[in-house]
Each structure stands twice: as structure tokens, then as C-alpha cells.
Amino acid sequence: MRLRNTKRGFTLVELIVVIAILGVLAAIVVPTTIHFVTESQIEAAESDCATVLRILETNIAREAMSDHPSEDGLYYLNGGAVASILNAYMGGDPEEETYVSIVVAGDNTYTLSVTSPVQKDGVYVSTQKVYTPQNRMRVEPCVVVFRNGTWA
């Protein structure tokens, strides 16, 4: 009596069909997943910008109202002051290359802008607010950027 070889493997056709099915599934899943990753990055950037703006708004008002050692009794809002506030009070780190800028208008107001390097529809995610400083504050135009884990 002869022993029969009972080992059977997959045929080439069966393997090609399985690979084709996996390729179709990957083609459906990957673009959807990439979309969700992009959306989450945009939402995180918007949240970071709003948080930075809120931290600055709160602490600038508090610093301007407190007593300062300057000879003229004024609080000077400049790049150094903005960087020190953000380094002291920013809980999580924003995206690298996040910018904070202060633009002073001629009518005694200034615009505080926070811009993230993340883009939404080809435009950088950003938040801004216009303020009128109190009489104890002098505002200087500046730009502060988050790089290497610190604001400078």
C-alpha cells in the first residue's frame, strides 16, 4: 500500500486573490485614517492658539495691575515679557515654530496674534485679539516663537 501525500498548500491564484482583497481594503482605510490624523492636528493647533491667547490675556492684565519695579510705574509689554509669561504658565507644549506677535496700532491699541505652523485649507491656523492697554502699560511690537521647548 502506498502512502499518499496529504500536504496541500495554497495555490498561486488563491494567494493573488487574498492580496488583491487586502489591497482594496487598504486603499479604502488609509485615506480615511490620514484625514482623521490631519483633522486632529488642526484641532490641536486651534486649541493651542486659543490657550496661548487666554494665558497671555489673563497674565498681561494681572501683571499690568500689579506693582512693578520700573521707575515710571509702567508695565512694559515686549517680547521678553511675553516669553517669560508663556514659559511660566504654558502647561503643554504647542507645535514647534508657533509664533506670538504683537502689532501696535496708532490709536493706542494692539493686536495679539498666535499663529501655528499647522495649515488648514492652505492657511496657517491662527487666533488674534485686539486690546486697548490700560494707562499703566506700554506696548512694544514684537514676535516671540516657540522653538526647542522654550519661548524666546
* Among 30, 54, 42, CA closest to 120: 42
For the chain, domain boundaries: 12-151
pTM listed for this prediction:
0.75
- Tens of pLDDT along the chain (152 residues) come to 566 666 678 889 999 999 999 999 999 998 888 888 889 999 999 999 999 999 998 888 888 777 666 777 788 888 999 999 999 888 778 888 999 999 998 777 899 999 999 999 999 999 999 988 877 788 899 999 998 888 98
Coil, strand, or helix at residue 129? strand
Whether 120 contacts 72, CB under 8 Å: no
